Structure 1
């Protein structure tokens, strides 16, 4: 029971020990190339319309549109041509694309569809409509006057179908100039569809604008600035490691004990209490705001001896409370808190004490050594086992902090104009990963996950964490570039192991997944691993010890 008392993310700081996989995977997730960096444009997304007009068209018009979109391009002679900022004069029947660079790695494509293509598309639309309409006095084989046919169908509907057909055939061609750089599903037409329909004339050119995000160019401070990064890493000294070993020994001893209900009196140091705890944000004026879901839990088991792992002041605030009593108090999350969004936040906590327990611990003798540490024959061997485990944890922590240090240093020697679509996708992936992690640890139930997954919550996260997400994007892009520049590789066996490990993690939390995407993420993690190893091996690292 005692081991459950520090599992609430909002009530404990960052864990000091990391298993080998966590050390590698967490750093690699930080550096793994964003999905949209590797997904270059493979198909065109149609115009994001501001008008609901097309959705209100008759079944006839929709049927004609589908027929047109299945046909071959309107004019097989159309060929995309592009220039940077200045249009090129091509033949009269050629599509003309003027490419204009915009901030945040965005490109505006000003597209001019030639008049002949507009005329051909218009005539094709009329032929398709003629096959499907019935006009009194005319047989299917009769030639129907164009004005009569247009009037019967509706001029606006004919124009809309023509414009839609032209967009379908010309957008992919217009995007050819950026096809090797464009980020998938980042393109959209900025010219309003209704405006295009209103301005369409088969005797004139059709002009519209498309914007698309492209993979940003990386600029290094100096050539190969990523090689020989100089970093300083703070690591635990021997006394701190020994203290951790002793703390783990005592925690295991508690696990072997039992809890007995305390008869009378309040919470004393050394007791365990079963409490309901809730927290709400406080603004600068002391007004109570929204609930902090990650700091709210019913049936939380509070071990008063674990105060060092809880929010500073929390244990002290509840000492003396008796079963059945409640108390409200204010605390401030420290700047070192694991959950970044809570750092520096002032909160009002409400605690309701349900039950208080005393501990009944077994004696520490050689007979209990094997229960304390599997395989130990004496109490001394058990302590040695805990010390060895703490030393291994310190080694992994050292590795993790070194990787973090070189990662931070990498972000300081590169510049990238990160596009908004990349920021948003990377931010959503990070947010989703955090929620899955909390769910896997049992710190959030399905209802809480649903609340935190709302569009409003996601957008707030993207807005509040924009600078941090930007920093991560810059580093991930740099990692992808280093992997390519240094010709780093990984084996098929490494990839298979990573995929299987990820599959088991998803299965463990009963989470549906796309195996193809799992493989992509495994490749990204492996790339991150290889780059991290290379960066550390080629960095100048200085280690300094500190006490905790």
Structure 2
């Protein structure tokens, strides 16, 4: 086997691999000899079928296997000898397309290799982490917010206003005929909730208990029931009660509504939740500050394919953030700007650095950690947890998407252990400012 370099430009590499036809023929013969004792064929005893006959019948298929194994072996040997690690799957093509049995195989292989990552003295990295305590004031604010969400409604005299609740019977008609799903009794509707067809709730503002009203609306063009989309509808509405919101009292009864034994227990739960939120937010700030520090310490060539792929991903993500109304991906090509490429360069550089640090430190994501992460994500699909587990098990890309952030966080923890880290106590407002600065950067 002969390997000849054809390209050496930055991180781009190209090679021509030539495998002698005699080597392939030997490999095929070896495979036939290994299988011969178990082969049965009409007219011959088991294991006594002549090699020429076996080669005639099974040779073409075994030749394909031998070619693949030989090329794969040549690639593995090349990467082992050179130490190159391809950034993406190498592009491998057979160049002599008119190949016939007995000819040499000539294969071209091109790839971009991962760069050599310089060593970083993490002991020189100085960081300040933020710590926030869950104050009594913060707990009281959270309690007040819970009380608002737990509001009830009580009977009210007079006309209904936005925010009030009306208990109604209604019946809807399209083209003069009742339609399925357009009728209900004793339905509690909060005015201003926008839970009904646009225009419906507004026409009940000012209604009083015992009043009958006619409501005329048009179903949206994109209404989920296609037979009603864009249609005009008339509703006969009987207003049975008008109620005003009643704020829940912050007491033991409120606590029980949220699953706590009493108010003190609810306060403890809230304090623990707030502290966990503060820790998570502070972690994001610390991680960003660490990455900023590392970005200023390393500089090396980047594989163009990785950089361009990341730039396209960033452009696509930002475009969808600016156009949230577009759900699909049939929006055509999205322009990749210099700003996208700059951000992509940073992400790829830091990603390669952290990957190399993790590789050298032999950092691994355990099976238990992966299982826990999959379980956490599966909870986002109530009733479909089993299907989600099966999807992840069968999809290597899905597993990688779950594993990658786990690995990165473990590498970040490793680096923080080596860096000089000071803790600073701040208020939740200062932490919020720090978080907002991440969004602006």
TM-score (norm 2): 0.51
1:483 maps to what in 2? 358
1:505 equivalent to 2:377? Answer yes
Alpha-carbon offset, residue 497 of structure 1: 4.2
1:471 aligned to which of 346, 355, 361: 346
Between 419-428 and 244-253, the greater mean CA deviation after superposition: 419-428
Alpha-carbon distance in 1 for matches of 2:123, 2:308? 30
2:149 maps to what in 1? 255
Alpha-carbon distance in 1 for matches of 2:260, 2:159? 35
1:408 maps to what in 2? 292
2:181 maps to what in 1? none
Alpha-carbon distance in 1 for matches of 2:106, 2:370? 49
Alpha-carbon distance in 1 for matches of 2:105, 2:84? 26
Alpha-carbon distance in 1 for matches of 2:353, 2:303? 15
Alpha-carbon offset, residue 257 of structure 1: 1.3
Q: Deviations over 1:189-237 (max 9, x none)?
A: 689x7xx769x999x99987532122222124xxx32334112345557
1:535 equivalent to 2:406? Answer no
Give the aligned length.
314
Change (3 A) 1:502 1:207: closer
Alpha-carbon offset, residue 374 of structure 1: 1.0
CA contact (8 A) 1:188 1:211 kept: yes
Alpha-carbon distance in 1 for matches of 2:376, 2:128? 36
Change (3 A) 1:111 1:181: same
Alpha-carbon distance in 1 for matches of 2:257, 2:145? 13
2:303 maps to what in 1? 419
**Greater C-alpha radius of gyration:** 2
1:181 aligned to which of 84, 93, 97: 84
Alpha-carbon distance in 2 for matches of 1:377, 1:272? 31
Gaps in structure 2 of 5+ consecutive residues: 26-63, 165-189, 202-214, 218-242, 433-441
Q: Deviations over 1:103-142 (max 9, x none)?
A: 3x3212255788x88xx9xxxxxxxxxxxxxxxxxxxxxx
Larger relative contact order (Cα-Cα within 8 Å, sequence gap ≥ 6) = 1
Alpha-carbon distance in 2 for matches of 1:172, 1:497? 33
Alpha-carbon distance in 2 for matches of 1:324, 1:541? 64
Change (3 A) 1:272 1:531: farther
Q: CA RMSD in A?
A: 5.7
**1:128-143 matched pairs, under 5 angstroms:** none
Alpha-carbon distance in 1 for matches of 2:13, 2:244? 67
Alpha-carbon distance in 2 for matches of 1:496, 1:266? 51
2:367 maps to what in 1? 495
1:217 equivalent to 2:116? Answer yes
Alpha-carbon distance in 2 for matches of 1:108, 1:404? 37
Alpha-carbon offset, residue 425 of structure 1: 6.6
Change (3 A) 1:358 1:244: farther
1:230 aligned to which of 104, 111, 126: 126
Change (3 A) 1:428 1:506: farther
2:14 aligned to which of 94, 108, 118: 108
Secondary structure, aligned partner of 1:227: helix
CA contact (8 A) 2:354 2:408 kept: yes
Alpha-carbon offset, residue 258 of structure 1: 3.3
1:273 equivalent to 2:192? Answer yes
1:396 maps to what in 2? 280
**1:434-453 matched pairs, under 5 angstroms:** 448=327, 451-452=328-329
1:370 maps to what in 2? 256
Alpha-carbon distance in 1 for matches of 2:375, 2:311? 23
**1:61-76 matched pairs, under 5 angstroms:** none
Alpha-carbon distance in 2 for matches of 1:178, 1:420? 20
Gaps in structure 1 of 5+ consecutive residues: 1-78, 80-94, 121-163, 277-297, 302-322, 326-356, 439-443
Secondary structure, aligned partner of 1:246: helix
Alpha-carbon distance in 2 for matches of 1:253, 1:113? 77
